[in-house]
Amino acid sequence: MQNSIALDSTRLQRLQQAPLWEFALALYAKPGVEAACLTLQEEGELDVCELLFHCWLYSCGLEAVPRAVARQREQRRQWQSSVTAVLRGLRRDLKDSAASSDSVAALRETIKQAELMAERENLQRWQEWVLEAHADEQRVMNIVEMPQDSAKWLRNQLLFSKANTHSESSLNTTSALCEALQMLTCQLDPHQGAR
């Protein structure tokens, strides 16, 4: 991680003007992003909300302070496991039954909407964490120099201090995960492929 310079108020202002939920919806709608996020979630066991959070910061030339984000990550992970994952599991469990029952299909759609609301709440909490930081607590910093390899930068953001069953080396060697990160960051930084 490179040393930061004083937090640029212009970058922080841009972040304040671009709500994380709206950013996430716009990025997710770009070609290949949904599939990349699902690959990273399913095969890499990464939290898509945190992934989108780091992309949001990156889009404004910012990154999370590693020690600060490690504490927040645990709170967000608890929300994901106790709320979002439960809803996702219910939705998936009802898939087969929904094919033959309109009432189960309607229930499954309601659960799907609740799952989406849980994701939105999680993203809102990430956003509040950044924007409501106390003056004496730095939670984000400038990216001093935009990385030549934004996929590697993103991988490092997601893995820093992460207690995960997948080690950094497994993400380096799993081509599907590397390709998913590359796809995501190419949509985030269209100039990445031209460098």
Residue with tokens 């460098």: 195
Total residues belonging to the chain: 195
Residue 121 falls inside a structural domain: yes
Gap between the Cα atoms of 148 and 167, Å rounded:
23
Flag whether 1 is in a domain.
no
Residue 154 lies in a domain: yes
The 3-class secondary structure across 77-103, one letter per residue, is HHHHHHHHHHHHHHHHHCHHHHCCCHH
Is residue 159 assigned to a domain? yes
C-beta separation of 10 from 18 below 8 A:
no
Query: Is 78 a domain residue?
Result: yes
Evaluate whether residue 4 is within a structural domain.
no
- The encoded tokens of residue 9 equal 């108020």
- What is the rounded (10 degree) CA torsion for 152, 156, 162, 168? 50
Q: Under DSSP, is residue 191 helix (H, G, I), strand (E, B) or coil?
A: coil
Q: Which of 60, 46, 71 is nearest to 155 (CA)?
A: 46
Instruction: Please enumerate in sequence order all residues whose Cβ is within 8 A of that of 136, keeping only pairs 6 or more positions apart, or say none.
Output: none
pLDDT digit string (tens) for the chain, length 195 residues: 344 455 677 888 888 888 999 999 999 999 999 999 999 988 888 899 999 999 999 998 899 988 889 889 989 999 999 999 999 999 999 999 999 999 999 999 999 999 999 999 999 999 999 999 887 788 988 887 777 788 888 888 887 644 444 444 444 447 888 899 989 888 887 654 433
Distance CA 182, CA 168 (A): 16
Specify the DSSP element, H or E, that contains 62: strand 62-64
**Which structural domain range is residue 60 located in?**
9-190
* pLDDT for 44: 86
Contact 60, 9 (CB under 8 A): no
Closest CA to 36 of 185, 189, 195, 190: 185
Q: In this structure, is residue 3 part of a structural domain? A: no
pTM for the model stands at 0.83
Instruction: Annotate 127-186 with DSSP letters as a single string.
Output: HHHHHT--TT---EEE-SS--S-HHHHHHHHHHTT---SS-HHHHHH-HHHHHHHHHHHH
Number of structural domains the chain divides into: 1
